[in-house]
Amino acid sequence: MQEATFLILTALAAGSQHGYGIITDVKEISGDRVRLRAGTLYTALDRLRADGLIAVDREEVVENRLRRYYRLTPDGSDLLAVEAARLRANADAALRRLNLAGGTV
Amino acid sequence: VSAASLERGYRRLLACYPERFRAEQADEMLAVLMEGACRDHRPGDRRGAGAAGLAEAGPDRDGRGRRVMFTVHSWFPYPLQLLTTSVYLLEVAALTVSPGPRHGRHLLNWGHGVTMLLAAGAVQASTLWDDSKTGIARILVHDHKLRSTSWSSASRWRWSQWRRPWRCG
């Protein structure tokens, strides 16, 4: 799973969000390291929707502009949990080996 | 840059997305782009600090390829970058394998190269500024069959001209 996809799913894990909310949330989660472009975000959202990992939660019109909220589907939650566990296992392995090798971590 | 002109710019750029994607997402993307531009605006900025540039709003189906290949023309929409880059690569390849003046003829010549570059530039410019639904540039960008057919026909014609027996005088 690409990092942008992981971060988008993570942003939606806490509840439904609209496009701009996802962009700002991803920026915050990644410690200002990942700034999603609108093109990247919507291409990813389109793909995630097609894969059944996210769904449209509701739509609002704010200041004459469409605001669509997305939410994780059960499949999306499962995939995110699996991916998070995989990343944690990898990180744990790396930290264990660093400790064994007398690393500073 | 006023909000209205920024919105017009974004709309022109969004026109480069495939029709299905545009119908589904364009309004929402525009809202996100404008929201980003408005929220991060600082007094005195020529543009909102967080406003996505036109290139940043563009299609990013393969971000890596885009960043590597299209840095120089990053303000052009993605499909046109792809198209013109193909033209440039074709031109460079053809000029490189050209038999050269010793043989008395060329597969391609500089005049042809300049014409192609001017044509590609005109297509880019007209797509950026053309709002009409039936604009020729839009057809060129979105009609892949027409584009590939015209390119392969032109290439075949040029190749057949070059391969024809050549007589001096």
Predicted confidence at residue A91, as pLDDT, reads: 93
Predicted confidence at residue B94, as pLDDT, reads: 61
Residue B76: DSSP 8-state: S
- Which residues of chain B are at the A interface, by a Cβ-Cβ cutoff of 8 Å? 21, 24-25, 27-36, 39, 52, 56-61, 63
Q: Is B104 helix (H, G, I), strand (E, B) or coil?
A: coil
pLDDT in tens, B60-78: 444 333 333 333 334 455 5
**Residue A84 in contact with partner chain B when CB distance is under 8 A:** no
Nearest to A66 among B27, B33, B39 (CB): B27
**A45 to chain B nearest CA, in Å?**
10
User: CB distance B57–A38 less than 8 Å?
Assistant: yes
pLDDT in tens, B127-147: 555 444 445 555 555 555 655
List chain B residues with CB under 8 Å of A41: 32
User: CB distance B35–A20 less than 8 Å?
Assistant: yes
List chain A residues with CB under 8 Å of B74: none
pLDDT category of residue B52 using cuts at 50, 70 and 90: very low
Compute the distance between CA of residue A38 and CA of residue A42 in angstroms, rounded to an integer. Answer: 6
**Residue A58 in contact with partner chain B when CB distance is under 8 A:** no
Greatest C-alpha distance within chain B: 72
> What ipTM does this complex have?
0.71
Choose between A103 and A63: higher pLDDT: A63
Note whether A38 and B33 are within 8 A (CB). yes
pLDDT in tens, A57-68: 988 888 778 889
Within chain B, where are the H helices?
A: 3-14, 19-39, 54-57, 63-69, 78-97, 110-129, 136-142, 144-163
User: CB distance B58–A20 less than 8 Å?
Assistant: no
**Residue A21 in contact with partner chain B when CB distance is under 8 A:** no
List chain B residues with CB under 8 Å of A38: 29, 32-33, 36, 52, 56-57
